[in-house]
């Protein structure tokens, strides 16, 4: 993937979305239910699109909200529905649409008490707090967010009573029903005008911030005087960081407290687009440039379910921090179950495998998607669940469930706890891991393909792979199912002693993604990446 010549440089007026046009399109454009691109489609984290492309409009959200009402009723969910939203321009109108439909269906909605923005982990925390010890009157939730996606995008995701991302059965049912409602021109959608005074209220921020000492050693951070810089990247965590600093007495500076639906303060991502990706050195360039001001600097995406960690060495690769976090937590959480395992996605670094083996902990490798970690985080069989795209969560200090969705805030604060307790930054601790286990090279590239080839890639079986070697090494495993739970990978993973690659079709573009890693150096990684395309082409026939 080539790098845009302006990647990492500040956005200019020409880069900014036209917010009035975006909002007008949300209200005025009507999707064509016969056009697959304009239907409701849940990916790994909800339905996403743009009103300018007629893929995220009032009709989509009205139909999806009605489908959620019917789904939760069918599941016997009759408690409140917690709803949050981020700072994208389309989040506010979609939040209004959803509440109008929920109210007309007699769903008791609980929104933020100050009409403020609400991060994804705060919604998950609220659901779990409400449901703890209950067998009836269970709550669920919705977060209106496209996560780190560009400013023109909107997103809408559903979290059932377990507090985490809905599984495929739920999202398939909701999407199918929503598309049926679109085809019926919304005749089955109930809706009433918004009455803000009738909306139920909940103190998301207060409940979450007050509870943080149950999951993190904030006393250690405060006592060590760790200097922290937190950049919300204009997202929903903007008020949370200041509240955390004040409530817990931390030496924490909110680097950028601004909120702008155009995200005009961002530096451009690798492809020249504005994207609030806290794992991208290009999107995080302005914070990286200030790294000498703080001992630990952190960033979050727009709904704060992802984390970026900056030390004096620069922005950490997400895989590196996951490995460090796992090694630290399992050595410093005596209240966790002795048999609590580690959840990781199949495209995360094999450094995690080595750390898990060294800890003597069970490693469970799953397909991409945080939903696979939800059961383990609920019953304590996972102490930690993390994915390569900088999303993770972990148990409370006493071994109880904290969140069952990704929590970029606690992962960001964990970096400071690691420094406070060990005297080493996370990047220094990662160097210790490479001294012990080797230094892997990891990268992801996109390969152009056709919709037909994408569909075939998602249905491959291990027997379709005829290759016996990869980059000069014998192939030791050909996987189309996750070894940890037997669930379909939706693609292919090929493993050798010194490296691996995984190929997965993109859900939004005509490309497939190749994730690859080598413990034998950059040249070996490049060979894996090149031969991976040949292996995929041969498997597709």
Q: How many domains does the chain have?
A: 2
What contacts 275, CB < 8 A, 6 or more positions away?
148, 149, 150, 266, 269, 283
Query: What is the Cα–Cα distance from 260 to 265, expressed in whole angstroms?
Result: 8
Query: What is the Cα–Cα distance from 398 to 211, expressed in whole angstroms?
Result: 13
What contacts 342, CB < 8 A, 6 or more positions away?
326, 330, 352, 356, 359, 361, 362, 363, 364, 382, 383, 384, 385
| pLDDT value for 506 | 83
192, β-bridge pairs = none
Q: Output the CA angle 513-514-516, nearest 5 degrees.
A: 150
Query: What is the Cα–Cα distance from 31 to 29, expressed in whole angstroms?
Result: 7
Residues of the domain holding 480: 441-540
| pLDDT value for 44 | 75
251 in any annotated domain: no
Query: What is the Cα–Cα distance from 300 to 281, expressed in whole angstroms?
Result: 13
Domain end residue (candidates: 152, 173, 206)? 206
**C-beta separation of 163 from 405 below 8 A:** yes
Does residue 252 sit in helix, strand or coil?
strand
| pLDDT value for 268 | 98
437 conformational bin, left if phi > 0, alpha if psi -120 to 50, beta if neither: alpha
230 in any annotated domain: no
| pLDDT value for 507 | 73
**C-beta separation of 444 from 354 below 8 A:** no
CATH number, domain with residue 464: 3.30.310.50
494 in any annotated domain: yes
| pLDDT value for 541 | 83
480 in any annotated domain: yes
Does residue 98 sit in helix, strand or coil?
helix
CA distances from 530 to 455, 500, 505, 514, 535 (A): 22, 12, 17, 10, 9
Domain end residue (candidates: 206, 221, 242)? 206
| pLDDT value for 1 | 60
Catalytically active residues are 147
| pLDDT value for 510 | 85
Domain end residue (candidates: 191, 206, 221)? 206
Nearest residue to 205 via CA among 248, 166, 181, 239: 239
Query: What is the Cα–Cα distance from 336 to 329, expressed in whole angstroms?
Result: 9
Dihedral angle, C-alpha 39, 117, 22, 36, nearest 10 ° = -10
245 in any annotated domain: no
CA-derived radius of gyration, the chain: 22
CA distances from 47 to 51, 120, 156, 300, 531 (A): 12, 15, 5, 21, 34
Dihedral angle, C-alpha 68, 71, 72, 76, nearest 10 ° = 170
345 in any annotated domain: no
46 in any annotated domain: yes
**Burial per residue of 125-148, b for 16 or more beta-carbon CB atoms within 10 angstroms, e otherwise:** bbbbebbeeeeeebbbbbbbbbbb
Which residue positions in the chain have pLDDT lower than 70?
A: 1, 508
| pLDDT value for 509 | 77
CATH number, domain with residue 172: 3.40.120.10
299, β-bridge pairs = 231, 308
């Amino acid at each position: 993937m080539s790098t845009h010549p302006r990647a990492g440089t500040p956005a200019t007026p020409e880069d900014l979305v036209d917010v009035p046009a975006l909002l007008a399109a949300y209200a005025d454009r009507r999707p064509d239910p016969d056009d697959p691109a304009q239907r409701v489609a849940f990916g790994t984290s909800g339905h996403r699109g743009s009103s300018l492309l007629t893929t995220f409009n009032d009709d989509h959200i009205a139909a999806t909200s009605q489908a959620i009402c019917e789904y939760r009723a069918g599941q016997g969910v009759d408690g409140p529905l917690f709803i949050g939203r981020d700072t994208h321009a389309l989040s506010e109108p979609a939040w209004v649409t959803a509440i109008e439909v929920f109210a007309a269906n007699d769903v008791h909605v609980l929104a933020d008490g100050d009409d403020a923005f609400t991060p994804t982990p705060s919604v998950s925390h609220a659901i779990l707090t409400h449901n703890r010890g209950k067998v009836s009157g269970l709550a669920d939730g919705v977060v209106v967010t496209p996560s780190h996606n560009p400013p023109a995008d909107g997103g809408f995701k559903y979290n059932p009573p377990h507090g985490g991302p809905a599984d495929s059965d739920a999202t398939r049912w909701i999407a199918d029903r929503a598309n049926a409602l679109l085809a019926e021109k919304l005749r089955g959608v109930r809706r009433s005008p918004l009455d803000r005074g009738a909306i139920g209220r909940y103190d998301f921020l207060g409940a979450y911030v007050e509870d943080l000492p149950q999951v993190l050693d904030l006393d250690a951070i405060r006592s060590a005087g760790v200097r922290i810089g937190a950049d919300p990247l204009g997202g929903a965590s903007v008020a949370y960081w200041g509240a955390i600093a004040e409530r817990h007495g931390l030496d924490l500076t909110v680097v950028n407290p601004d909120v702008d639906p155009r995200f005009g303060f961002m530096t451009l991502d690798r492809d020249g687009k504005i994207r609030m990706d806290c794992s991208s050195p290009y999107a995080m360039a302005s914070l990286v440039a200030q790294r000498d001001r703080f001992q630990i600097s952190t960033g979050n995406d727009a709904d704060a379910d992802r984390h970026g960690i900056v030390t004096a060495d620069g922005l950490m690769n997400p895989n590196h921090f996951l490995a460090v976090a796992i090694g630290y937590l399992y050595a410093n959480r005596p209240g966790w179950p002795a048999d609590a395992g580690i959840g990781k996605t199949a495209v995360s670094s094999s450094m995690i495998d080595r750390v898990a083996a060294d800890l003597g902990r069970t490693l469970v490798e799953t397909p991409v998607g945080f939903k696979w970690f939800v059961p383990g985080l609920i019953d304590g069989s996972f102490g930690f669940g993390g994915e390569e795209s900088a999303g993770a969560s972990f148990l409370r200090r006493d071994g109880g469930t904290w969140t069952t969705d990704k929590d970029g805030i606690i992962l960001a604060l964990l970096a400071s706890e690691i420094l406070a307790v060990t005297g080493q930054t996370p990047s220094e601790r990662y160097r210790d891991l490479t001294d012990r286990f080797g230094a892997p090279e990891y990268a992801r590239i996109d390969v152009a393909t056709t919709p037909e080839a994408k569909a075939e890639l998602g249905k491959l079986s291990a027997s379709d792979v005829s290759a016996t070697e990869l980059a000069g090494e014998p192939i030791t495993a050909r996987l189309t199912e996750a070894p940890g739970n037997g669930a379909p990978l939706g693609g292919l993973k090929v493993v050798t002693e010194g490296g691996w690659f995984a190929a997965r079709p993109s859900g939004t573009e005509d490309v497939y993604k190749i994730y690859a890693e080598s413990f034998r150096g950059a040249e070996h990684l490049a060979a894996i990446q090149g031969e991976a395309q040949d292996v995929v082409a041969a498997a597709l026939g």
